[in-house]
Structures are given as C-alpha cells and as structure tokens.
Structure 1
Amino acid sequence: MTMRRIASVRGIALALCFALLGTVPAFAGWRDDLKVLKVGFIAGDNPAYAVARLEPFRHQLQYGLAVPVELFPARSYQALIDAQASGRIQYAILSSLAYVALDQTCHCAEPIVQPTTENGARGFRAMLVTRSDSGIANLDDARGKRLAIGARDSISGRIAPYSALAEQGIEPESYFARAFETEDAAAALRSLAEGDADLAVAWSTADDPVSTTPGSGPIADLAEASDITLPPLRAIWVSELIPFGPHAIRTDLAPEARAALIDTLLHMKDTTPDAYDAVGRSFSGGFVPADPTLYRRFSGLLASVEQPQ
C-alpha cells in the first residue's frame, strides 16, 4: 500500500472516530439531563396495587426510552394536573377533561397518543335521546319535558349536554319540567324506557348515534340486557366527537425522548400486549397519534358552561 493510500485510509478512520465521538454526547446528553422520566396516573384508593398493575407498562417505557422510569400515583386529576404543571412529572395519563384543564393552566404539555376502540374510534359522542314515538324531534319540542341526566362531573351525562344547551340559551332547571340525576347513562336510559323520563343522556362510539352495535355504548349494552326492553330511540342532539383522554408530555421534554415515547406507545399493543393491557385494557384498538384539534374542539365545547370544581 502506498504512503498516499495509507494516509488516505488513516484520514478516513480519524474522520469516522471524530464523527462517532461527536455523536456520543448528543446521544447521551438528553438522557443525562432527564435522568428519570416520571409518569403520573390516577391510582385511586390503593396506590400500591395500582403501581403493581402498571409495572409492565412502566417497564416497556423504560426499555423504549433507555432511561429509568418511575410511576407517580395520584389520587385525583387535580393532583395530576398540579404535578405536571409544576414539572414534578413529565408524563401524565389524563382524561380529556383533565387535559383541557392542564392546557388552560400552563400550556406546558401536549398530547402524544390517545387510545382507540376495536373499530378505531378515537372518542365518543354525547347525546340527548327520546323514544321515537314521543313526538319530540328537537330541543324546542323538549321544553317542559322530563330529562334524566348523569352526575355533575360526567362529561357525557352532564357537562357536554349542558354546554350545548347553554349555547342555545337554555337553562335546564327552568326549561325542563324536571331534570333529575341518575347514576350513569345506562340508568338514564332505563328511566326513559320505564316511562319515568321523556329524555335521557347517552353516548356512543358508533357513527349511528343510536346504534346497537356491540361495544359502542350504553344503548348497545341495554339492547342485549335480558331485564329490560329498550324502545326505538331518536337522538335530538349529538355532540362533536369527544376524544378519549390522552397520554401527555411536557413540551420541554427533549425531542429525542418524545420520539422514543411515541414509537414505543404506537407499537406497544402489538409488541408487548401485556404492557398495553396494563394501561389500556378498556380500549382494544391500541394507541394512535393524538390529534390536538380534537382537544381544542372539546375545549371550545366546554367554554360556554361553568365546569365542576
């Protein structure tokens, strides 16, 4: 080999070494800065059990990120919001309502993925329904009727419908002959079927709001129940799509960490189903990239009515 050839080979080798040395700090830098990713979630009254249940999910995040991951169990969404807004956690598993509240608090987080149903639905639509033979075709016809609603903190059972009514200038307490609270949408529909209400709140993930497609919501569930006969129904109001709650990260998290998390989450159902089931068992469709537009629209829907504290 000639001296010129040797010099050329050595030059290439040195260039490669410098290139590799230059990439090592970039590769390790954001991990060194992050040190630990803290993931917040609602733990309920038994945090130890909840942490153990989410262990496969935590382990898979740690594997995908190549950074230690710690779980942060919270007893309420307000505690979770405060923790992410203050930077004590970088990642939170939120309801759609909690994400909107967080965004209004600090504009410091973004949704990265959201779960889906088996048929690919990213969320559900809230609605007001009546019997098809009731003679009630719209909100004007509903004046003076009896309405079965959900709990005050229920998005589909109270918050979304009342927001829509507020947009129409309707005050439920004076507009309806009676607006009475039920345990959930299924209970409200039972009141309608049994003649105790003229209207009921409900929700569905199906394109047809009153569909009985299995797994689409309480109308479908009651259609399969043996102890009640659900009459034919008509929806007189249907909301825009209300997205399922997202997994959200702080916007100051390194782009490399963001990319690694999204890649891990999008493939989790297929590659490590036990990790996915630990956190998304109620949503059999897996994670998809979050659509921020859906959460902005939902925020707009909520803007016209005072939210429960």
Structure 2
Amino acid sequence: MLKLLRTHILPIYILVVLTLATGISTTNNAYAARKDELKVLRVGVLYNHPIAENEKSIAEFSNFYATQLGLKVEVIRFKSLGSLMDAHGSARVQYAIHSARSYATMNEICSCLHAIARPISAQGSNGFRSVLIIRDDKKADYANGEKLRIGFSRKNSMSGWLVPNKAIENGDIPANDFLELGSVEDVVSAYERGNVDGYFGWVPTSKLDEVVSSEKVFGTIYNSRLQAEKKSTIVWRSKIIHHGPHVAHRSLPKELVEDLTNLLLNMSSRSPEVLDIIEPYFSGGFEQANVGDYNAISAVLNLSSISVPAIIDGRLRSTLQ
C-alpha cells in the first residue's frame, strides 16, 4: 500500500514543484524583461534638495539605487514644484520626492501616482498637527465665545494659517481677532509681551500619535520662552499633516515599486549613509504610506473643487503651479 502511494503521489509532488518553479521563473523573467524595456529610472527632485546639492551626492544616490534595483538611474533637477509635478504626472520622471502639498494636489487631479513611503524623524515624528494654544486664564473666555487676540505667523503658512483657517471656515474654531504677525519669532515675542491671548502653532506627531501638550509646540524650539509664561492649553488640534512622500508613477512595474518601497523602509538600518543624503532632516527612516494619508491637506486646499482636467497633453495647468 505504501509503495503504491509513493508510486502515485511522488510524481504529482514533483509536478507541483516544477510548476511552481516554472511560474516563479516566468514571473522573474517577465520582471527582468520589463526592467530592460524601462532601461532608465528617472528620479525627479527639486534643485535645492540635498540629493541635487552637488554632483557627488547625485552620483552617490544614483549608484546606490542602480545597484539595489539593477537598473540605470538618472536624477533630474527641477526649479519649481510645478515643473516637477508636470513631469511626474506625464511620466517624464517615474519616481519623485514630493512635498505633502504637491502630492495632495497631484492625487486629486491624477490617479497616475502612488505614494509609497513617507519619512519620519529621529524622534519618530511622521508629520504635524496645527494647534490653537490659549493662556489658561483665557480658557473660560474662549469657551464662552468672547473674542480673543490670536496670533499667527503668515497667511501662506500651512500650520500657522491655512490649516487653522479651514477649521475657522468649518466652525470648529470660533471667530476671534486673528492677527498676522509675520513670523514664528514674532508670534512668540507677542505672546511673551502679552500682546496676544493665544496663537496658532504646530506639534509633531508620531506613529502612536499620543496626546501632546503645549510643551511640544514648534518642536520645543521656543520651549524655554513659552513655558516661562503663564500655563497654556491646546484647545484645538487639526488632523495629521504627514511629511511629504516618495512617490512612484503607476506605469512602473509592480515589482519595481515593491523593490523601491522595501529599499526605503529598510534604509535607516541597512544604509544610513544614503539616508543622510535622501532625507537629512528625517533621520528616523521611512514608514509605509497609506491611501488617504494626504486627504487632510487636500481638504485644507479645497483640491476636490478642481473640476477640469489638470493634465492635458502632458502639461500641468499653470493655475496649479
């Protein structure tokens, strides 16, 4: 009986193994063929990004990616986010490092891009939340709807005004006297002098996104000055605004996108010297980017109101640049 089982089962087992091996070999061959067809991975960065700082850093980045991916890599520098967005949307570059704002814009107007990873700081911060901080002795007035003097830096500041202003429009923050002061330094000085009752700032977030206190505002840079004043409290905080992601064009082979993702996720432990070139301000490495990560910034910028095709003949409409 045992001999009979071996006689019938062994050939089937061998056939299954051979079939799986053939399938894997075919898949690998297909991937290799697609990489051969691609020939060059073109990477887009802004001209002032550390990668583009000099020819040495460009060469180090290109050689590392080429070695890891088995593919020639070319770095293309752009003078503006608008030109980078245009090139990425039309696949003249297939991989790029975006700001949160530029990716959110592209995500609304083009389904052709995919955020694969986002950087984190050495302390584990993966983004920020805008916050409204009020002096403790003014909390009752705030709760009762009395108008307070609220300082902020500039109207083009994402954390200082654009995100809070959306909350004001939505009624999440009541009407107050909002004072544009010019810079974060001016906001801190005004708070020290008692010229404002509160201010808009930002606090870093993390994977755990634990409850944060006002001691974390502005990343603790002004902590000694702000904490020397009367106690204060965060009375409002926004949704998370994640750091700008690394983004792949959807025309790239799925296997190559997976290789790029794994390369980034393992970079802090395996290649910290390359991380210093790619993301010198985020030495904690990378974490996986998820669908919906940048919805919060999309809502702030009213990107869903875009009603016309934004990419026509490979050119990004100038209104979005």
TM range (shorter): 0.7 to 0.9
> Which of 32, 35, 42 is the aligned partner of 2:39?
35
Distance 1:48 1:114, change over 3 A: closer
Structure 2 distance, partners of 1:128, 1:26, is 54
Segments of 4+ in structure 1 off by > 6 A? Answer: 304-309
TM-score of the aligned structures, taking structure 1 as reference length: 0.80
Unaligned 5+ runs, structure 2: 1-10, 306-318
Q: Which residue of 2 aligns with 1:251?
A: 250
Structure 1 distance, partners of 2:233, 2:301, is 24
Q: Which amino acid aligns with 2:115?
A: P
Q: Is 2:226 the counterpart of 1:222? A: no
Q: Is the 8 A contact 2:217 2:223 kept in 1?
A: no
Q: Is the 8 A contact 1:128 1:235 kept in 2?
A: yes
Aligned sequence identity (%): 26
What does 1:1-309 align with in structure 2 at a 5 Å threshold? 19=22, 22=26, 25-44=29-48, 49=53, 52-135=56-139, 138=142, 141=145, 143=147, 145-168=148-171, 175-184=175-184, 186-206=185-205, 207-212=210-215, 216-218=216-218, 220-224=220-224, 229-303=228-302
Structure 2 distance, partners of 1:141, 1:279, is 47
Structure 2 distance, partners of 1:139, 1:84, is 47
Q: Which amino acid aligns with 2:212?
A: P
Aligned-pair CA distance for 1:152: 3.0
Distance 1:288 1:106, change over 3 A: same
Q: Which residue of 1 aligns with 2:311?
A: none
Deviates more, 1:60-69 or 1:39-48: 39-48
Q: Is the 8 A contact 1:210 1:235 kept in 2?
A: yes
Residues 123-160 of structure 1: per-residue CA shift (max 9 Å, x gap):
111111122222456476363x3222233332111111
Structure 1 distance, partners of 2:122, 2:141, is 32
Distance 1:202 1:209, change over 3 A: farther
Q: Which amino acid aligns with 1:275?
A: V
Q: Is the 8 A contact 2:214 2:232 kept in 1?
A: no
Structure 2 distance, partners of 1:167, 1:304, is 16
Unaligned 5+ runs, structure 1: 1-7
Distance 1:308 1:188, change over 3 A: farther
Q: Which residue of 1 aligns with 2:6?
A: none
Residues 62-86 of structure 1: per-residue CA shift (max 9 Å, x gap):
2221111111212221121111111
TM-score of the aligned structures, taking structure 2 as reference length: 0.77
Partner-residue secondary structure (3-state), 2:156: coil
Deviates more, 1:297-306 or 1:119-128: 297-306
Distance 1:260 1:45, change over 3 A: closer
Distance 1:251 1:219, change over 3 A: closer
Alignment RMSD: 3.4
Structure 1 distance, partners of 2:85, 2:278, is 19
- The size of the alignment, in residue pairs, is 288
Distance 1:180 1:23, change over 3 A: closer
Partner-residue secondary structure (3-state), 2:48: coil
